[in-house]
Structure 1
Amino acid sequence: MSILRTLLQDIPIPQMVRIRQKFDGTVIEDHERALRRELQKPGAIDRIRPGQSVAVAVGSRGVANIADFTRVTIEAIRAAGGEPFIVPCMGSHGGATAEGQRDVLHHLGVTETAMGAPLRSSMEVVKIDELPNGLPVYVDKYASEADAIVVINRVKPHTAFRGPIESGIMKMIAIGLGKQKGAEACHQLGFKYMAENVPAMARIMIDKLPIVFGVALVENAYDQTCRVEVLPAAEIEAREVVLLEEAKTRLPKILFDQIDVLVIDYIGKNISGDGMDPNVTGRYPTPYAHGGPDVSKMVVLDLTPETKGNANGVGTADFTTQRLVDQMDRDATYANGLTSTVCAPTKIATTLENDYYAIKAAVKTCNILDYTKCRLVRIQDTLHLGEIEISVNLLDEAKRHPDIEILTEPYDLKFNSEGNLTT
Structure 2
Amino acid sequence: MSDMYGEPNGGTQEHEHRGKDAYEHERIFAALPPAHGRGFAQSWWGQAWLKALEDTALELAQLKAGRRLARAGAVGAVSVRPGRITAVVKDPDGTPHRSDVLLQRLSEDDWDHFLGMTVERAGHIATLLDREMPPHLVEDASAAGVELLPGIGDLEPRCDCDAWDHCGHTSALCYQVARLLDQDPFVLFLMRGRAERELLDELQVRSVAQSETEATPADEQKGALEGVDAGEAYAEGAILPPLPELPALPSEPGLPPALDTETEPAPGLDVTALEFLAARAAAEAHRMLAEALSPGHERQPLEGELTPDEDAVRLAVAAPAAVAERLSTAARRGRDGLALAVRAWEYGGPAALAVLKEEWAPSADALARARAALDAAWDDDERPRLRATRNRWTVVGGDAQLRQGTDGRWWPYRKERGRWAPAGPAAHDPATAMAVAIGGE
Q: TM-score range by the shorter chain?
A: under 0.3
Report the TM-score, using the length of structure 1 for normalisation: 0.20
Higher relative contact order (CA 8 A, sep 6+): 1
User: Which structure has the highest helix share of the two?
Assistant: 2
Which of structures 1 and 2 has the bigger CA Rg? 2
User: Which structure has the highest strand share of the two?
Assistant: 1
Report the TM-score, using the length of structure 2 for normalisation: 0.20
